[in-house]
Structure 1
Amino acid sequence: MSTMLHAIYTPYHRISSKIELLHPLATLLSRLYIAKVFFVAGWLKIQDWDTTLFLFEEEYQVPFLPFELAAYLGTAGELVLPILLALGLASRFAALGLSVVNIVAVISLAEIAPAALYLHMIWGILLAHIVIYGGGFFSTDRFLTPQNNAS
């Protein structure tokens, strides 16, 4: 039985190890995708600040914060953290910060469309991956870690 299992598992393992080579690229693409989503949202907010303030006052129900402070903090987070994430600089910190922005966005809307909620869940999963595993091979973090600088 174990020889048969081994005969089946060996090709699987060979293929699996080849697929693992895509992990750094998948992490980079995840970082860039999430960074674009949040940066564009922040950019749109600063393009029409009066509307942004109105939405934070009337539409979004951000808990525990005055609407103006919530607007400034949310917009700043959506503009600064995606840049860090795209560069892979302090990737875990940036992903954690964007996770907070993502969660606040979901809970601050009284009604959220199922499709929008689904997107926020996907973004949350991608951000959780970066928080847990880091920015990956193609990140500034990798080049700034001490073991990579020791020669």
Structure 2
Amino acid sequence: MKNLLTLHQFSTRFDEAISAWGGALLLLVLRVYVGWQFLHSGLIKLQNWPGTLELFHTEYHVPLLPPDLAAYMGAGGELFLPCLLFVGLFSRPAALGLLGVNAMAVISYPQLFEFECPAAINDHFYWTILLLVVVVFGAGRFSVDALLGKLAPKTTA
């Protein structure tokens, strides 16, 4: 009977180790995937900057911001914040920032809801869910955030 209990304890520790490493790997893949979606969009904006400015003047109606400022802020967020996600540095603030960029994209381009193919708006919903996972769980073990957490001095209350 004692051997059976010991086997169960080993199995529990093994399961915890696998799920912890598996979860960390999943968070890494998730961060890279969702970050790439935004980085790719930012790179496309840079490839045709005059066209991007034109779109912000005619198609995208960002509330409360002048079109040129909205274009610079949107492209800047799409280029900078994914890099933070890739390395896992300030992951939660970066994910929150990308949530803002994503929300602005949906708000400023209501035609997304009118397309016959719902894939366009659904992508924004999926990205929101993936970014919320990073906000809730953090970057995981494979990140600069985790490394900095290990190096930070421990305080006792």
TM-score (norm 2): 0.81
Q: Residue 5 of structure 2 corresponds to which residue in structure 1?
A: none
Give, in whole Å, the separation in 2 of the partners of 1:100 and 1:85: 15
Q: Residue 119 of structure 2 corresponds to which residue in structure 1?
A: 115
Q: How high is the sequence identity, in percent, across the aligned residues?
A: 44
Deviation at 1:31, TM superposition (A): 0.3
TM-score (norm 1): 0.84
Structure 2 gaps, min length 5: 1-7
After TM superposition, the structure 1 = structure 2 runs for residues 31-42 of structure 1, keeping only pairs within 5 Å, are 31-42=31-42
After TM superposition, the structure 1 = structure 2 runs for residues 37-52 of structure 1, keeping only pairs within 5 Å, are 37-52=37-52
Would you say 1:130 and 2:134 are equivalent positions?
yes
Give, in whole Å, the separation in 2 of the partners of 1:110 and 1:136: 35
Would you say 1:139 and 2:143 are equivalent positions?
yes
After TM superposition, the structure 1 = structure 2 runs for residues 54-69 of structure 1, keeping only pairs within 5 Å, are 54-69=54-69
Give, in whole Å, the separation in 2 of the partners of 1:107 and 1:19: 37
Give, in whole Å, the separation in 1 of the partners of 2:23 and 2:34: 16
Number of residues paired by the alignment? Answer: 139
**Cα pair distance change 1:70/1:19, threshold 3 Å:** same
- The residue identity in structure 1 corresponding to 2:127 is W
RMSD: 2.0
Give, in whole Å, the separation in 2 of the partners of 1:16 and 1:105: 41
TM-superposition CA deviations, 1:80-133 (whole Å, max 9, x none): 000001010000011000000001101111311321111111100000010111
Give, in whole Å, the separation in 2 of the partners of 1:115 and 1:19: 32
Give, in whole Å, the separation in 1 of the partners of 2:94 and 2:74: 13
Q: Residue 6 of structure 1 corresponds to which residue in structure 2?
A: none
Give, in whole Å, the separation in 2 of the partners of 1:140 and 1:131: 15
Structure 1 gaps, min length 5: 1-9
Give, in whole Å, the separation in 1 of the partners of 2:81 and 2:52: 19
SS at 1:30 equivalent: helix
Give, in whole Å, the separation in 1 of the partners of 2:19 and 2:145: 23
- The residue identity in structure 2 corresponding to 1:39 is L
